[in-house]
């Protein structure tokens, strides 16, 4: 009799408490109706899990998906459960959950990227290779495998993969950026410069039908949040603030929403409000990496550089693929005078797709200060190809040229720069530096 009782207990529906006052009326209605249907049907619990996940109710969706799986195993359920676990920072559990999803390629390449976030390039490579074996045109897996080759110091293997991808029509700016990075590391600097001229905002959004279908369950809140983000994009920060504040009353524990609200407060120089908003959010969602990154920006704005760097490093720890966190950590290390750390962070940020010319310029300055004028010259020239009036890079380029044994050319370039930018102290500083270098040679 005991086994029967235990079986019944194991299959007992989970108790899931939802604060409906935090949801939009449309979401509340949809979730309430689905809760009434979700008794002992695995499909109904799967639908309920999708509704929870679509509205950012991660813990509730985990419980719903887990119970659906107990009732009847389903690859879609396992996959979406893995996505939520990864979102909460539980990468190992997410990978374990997706291991049994054999016939859905996104489940395989996502594991590869999660292994990369965990720093395990060997296992990441194997996952990407498996996805490519299944689908030779699987672009996410090809990109992932390319990045593991770069991470392991094998740029020539990365070049072969990327050139093959481009020959089949894969001309996204991020692909060209990675190819430029690979050529740079292989020593093909002229080719690298051509590809690295393209501006890249990171990898594209890849097709994932199961995840996209789940997102169609969003009600009310998602539309309001999208409207607020559109306001930010067009510079209507005050309007975005009002919309986000209204949403935050209904969704006081949604980390993405609160992070966006804190970012808006920071842009409006309401630093105290930004910090208080994020502190609350981080108590509820301590593993949400973007919150740590935004807190790093807040700390930097108040002059707390050491604390800002701590938060930036935590963001990297939680999400190693976040190029913006590496870029900020590099900037902060540069401010502290820690050039080796700054160089490492900037190099990683650029490797991950950061094409901000200011980051590349600072990286060039770090290389200049650490005795690598040849590589710094390459970075400054890349900046100047897209931003020819960047005075910092003009100055850095001239100093690098002088250090490489040609101060006369540097002086000629600076003479023109002094005429074009007579009041810029960076040109004056570079002029004095080049004259000193010439005198010492």
**Per-residue pLDDT, 433:** 93
Cα separation values, 343 from 238, 309, 312, 321, 355, Å? 37, 15, 15, 17, 16
Distance between CA atoms of residues 353 and 347, nearest Å = 10
Write down the domain spans for the chain: 1-90, 100-204, 223-286
Q: Can you tell me the mean pLDDT for 77-93?
A: 94
Of the candidates 179, 184, 155, the one whose C-alpha atom is nearest the C-alpha of residue 363 is: 184
3-state secondary structure of 326: helix
Give the pLDDT of residue 22.
67
Confidence (pLDDT) at 356: 84
In this prediction, residue 5 has a pLDDT band, given cuts at 50, 70 and 90, of: very low
Q: Which CATH class name applies to 1-90? A: mainly alpha
- Is 1-90's fold the same as 223-286's? yes
The 10s digit of each residue's pLDDT in 305-356 is 999 999 999 999 999 888 999 999 999 999 999 999 999 999 999 888 787 8
> Within 10 A of 264 (CB to CB), how many other CB atoms are there?
25
Pairwise CA distance, residues 325 & 355, whole Å: 14
> At residue 383, what are phi and psi to the nearest 5 degrees?
-60, -45
Percent of the chain whose predicted confidence (pLDDT) is above 70: 95
Question: What's the CA gap between 316 and 310, in Å, rounded?
Answer: 10
| pLDDT, tens only, 15-59 | 898 888 767 788 888 899 999 887 789 999 999 999 999 888 999
What pLDDT is stored for residue 3 in this prediction? Answer: 52
Asked whether the beta carbons of 397 and 412 are under 8 A apart, the reply is: no
Contacts of 124 (CB under 8 A, 6+ apart): 112, 113, 115, 116, 144, 148
Task: Classify each residue of 308-340 as buried b or exposed e, where b means 16 or more C-beta atoms within 10 Å of its C-beta.
Answer: bbbbbbbbbebbbbbbbbbbbbbbbbbeeebbe
Closest of 264, 244, 267 to residue 254, by C-alpha: 244
* pLDDT at residue 393 is higher than 90: yes
Alpha carbon distance 92, 244 (integer Å) = 33
CB 399 within 8 A of CB 368: yes
Name which CATH class applies to 100-204: mainly alpha
Arithmetic mean of pLDDT over the chain: 89
Domain 223-286 has CATH 1.25.40.10: yes
Name the least confident of 157-161, 239-243, 354-358: 354-358
Cα–Cα nearest to 136, from 167, 111, 114, 159: 167
Query: Rounded to 10 degrees, what is the CA torsion of 288, 293, 298, 300?
Result: 150
**Spatial distance between the Cα atoms of 346 and 327, rounded to a whole number of angstroms:** 6
Helical segments of 352-403, H only: 357-369, 373-386, 391-403
């Amino acid at each position: 009799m005991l086994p029967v009782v235990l079986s019944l207990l194991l299959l007992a529906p989970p108790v899931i408490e939802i604060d409906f006052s935090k949801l939009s009326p449309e979401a509340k209605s949809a979730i309430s109706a689905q809760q009434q249907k979700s008794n002992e049907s695995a499909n109904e619990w799967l639908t309920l899990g999708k509704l929870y996940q679509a509205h950012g109710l991660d813990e509730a969706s985990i419980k719903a998906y887990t119970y659906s799986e107990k009732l009847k195993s389903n690859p879609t359920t396992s996959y979406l459960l893995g996505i939520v676990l990864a979102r909460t920072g539980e990468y190992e559990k997410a990978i374990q959950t997706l291991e049994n999803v054999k016939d859905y390629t996104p489940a395989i390449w996502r594991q590869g990227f999660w292994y990369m976030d965990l720093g395990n390039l060997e296992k990441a490579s194997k996952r990407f290779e498996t996805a490519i074996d299944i689908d030779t045109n699987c672009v996410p897996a090809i990109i992932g495998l390319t990045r593991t080759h770069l991470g392991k110091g094998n740029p020539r293997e990365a070049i072969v993969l990327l050139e093959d991808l481009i020959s089949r029509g894969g001309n996204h700016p991020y692909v060209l950026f990675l190819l430029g990075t690979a050529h740079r590391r292989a020593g093909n600097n002229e080719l690298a410069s051509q590809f690295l001229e393209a501006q890249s905002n990171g990898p594209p959004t890849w097709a994932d039908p199961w995840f996209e279908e789940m997102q169609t369950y969003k009600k009310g809140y998602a539309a309001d949040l999208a409207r607020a983000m559109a306001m930010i994009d067009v510079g209507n920060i005050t309007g975005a603030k009002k919309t986000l504040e209204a949403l935050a009353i209904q969704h006081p524990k949604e980390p993405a929403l609160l992070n966006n609200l804190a970012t808006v407060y920071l842009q409006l120089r309401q630093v105290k409000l930004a910090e208080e908003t994020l502190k609350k959010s981080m108590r509820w969602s301590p593993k949400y990496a973007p919150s740590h990154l935004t807190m790093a920006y807040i700390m930097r704005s108040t002059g707390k550089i050491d604390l800002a760097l701590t938060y930036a490093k935590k963001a990297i720890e939680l999400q190693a693929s976040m190029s913006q966190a590496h870029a900020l950590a590099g900037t902060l290390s540069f401010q502290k005078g820690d050039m080796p750390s700054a160089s490492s962070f900037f190099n990683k940020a650029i490797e991950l797709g950061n094409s901000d010319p200011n980051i590349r310029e600072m990286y060039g300055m770090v290389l200049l200060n650490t005795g690598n004028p040849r590589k710094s010259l390459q970075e400054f020239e890349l900046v100047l190809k897209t931003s020819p009036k960047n005075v910092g890079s003009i100055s850095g380029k001239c100093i690098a040229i002088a250090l490489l044994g040609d101060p006369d050319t540097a002086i000629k370039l600076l003479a023109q720069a002094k005429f074009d930018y007579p009041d810029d102290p960076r040109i004056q500083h570079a002029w004095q530096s080049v004259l000193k270098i010439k005198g010492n040679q």
